[in-house]
């Protein structure tokens, strides 16, 4: 196998791996949206308090536990259903796109590029507001996935 052929195979495998990662995150988002929809108001805070209670007893300044509590407080209250719908919509859309990409549906490639570009734009807007480094990492992953998807699409169109 030539270097070019080997590199092409590795990029295709990276594309497939990114689909798997995206599918797992999309499944998590979808399930989180369902759980949030079914929870009574303020239940996310109680659930996170229960989950982090031992850690906070050991270290009341534990950054991960405090972050989780802050996030739970941010999504609790009257806007619970808005967050649930966001997670459900985001997760289901990504699951659908991943399934179509895995099946090699040609129109799924530009649709995925457009959707991922929208996600990156939204994530960058939120990063500008919050400065959360996780949004930069997520956007970097999405940008890599956009490039891999574009590459796969063009390979398919050449055939």
Q: Of residues 151 and 82, which shows the higher confidence score?
A: 151
Domain ranges of the chain: 3-41+77-158
Burial class (CB in 10 A: 0-12, 13-18, 19+), 36: buried
In angstroms, the Cα distances linking 74 to 42, 67, 78, 88, 138 are 10, 10, 11, 18, 20
Confidence category of residue 17, pLDDT binned at 50, 70, 90: very high
Token pair belonging to 114? 């457009």
Confidence category of residue 1, pLDDT binned at 50, 70, 90: low
Exposure string (b/e) for 73-94, b if CB count within 10 Å is 16 or more?
A: eebbeeebeebbeebbebbebb
Task: Report the pLDDT value the prediction gives residue 78, as an integer from 0 to 100.
Answer: 62
pLDDT over 90, % of the chain: 45
Q: Read off the pLDDT of residues 33-66 as tens digits, 9 standing for 90 and up.
A: 898 888 877 777 888 889 888 888 898 898 888 8
Greatest CA separation for the chain: 61
- The answer to pTM > 0.85 is no
């Amino acid at each position: 196998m030539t270097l070019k052929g080997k590199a092409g195979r590795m990029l295709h495998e990276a594309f497939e791996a990114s689909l798997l990662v995206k599918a797992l995150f999309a499944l998590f988002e979808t399930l989180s949206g369902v759980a949030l929809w079914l929870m009574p108001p303020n239940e996310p805070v109680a659930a996170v308090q229960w989950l982090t209670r031992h850690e906070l007893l050991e270290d009341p300044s534990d950054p991960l536990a405090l972050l989780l509590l802050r996030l739970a407080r941010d999504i609790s209250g009257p806007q619970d259903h808005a967050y649930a719908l966001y997670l459900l919509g985001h997760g289901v859309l990504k699951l659908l796109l991943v399934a179509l990409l895995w099946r090699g549906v040609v129109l799924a490639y530009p649709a995925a590029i457009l959707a991922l570009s929208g996600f990156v734009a939204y994530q960058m807007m939120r990063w500008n507001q919050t400065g959360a480094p996780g949004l930069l990492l997520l956007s970097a992953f999405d940008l890599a996935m956009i490039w891999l998807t574009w590459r796969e699409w063009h390979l398919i169109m050449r055939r």
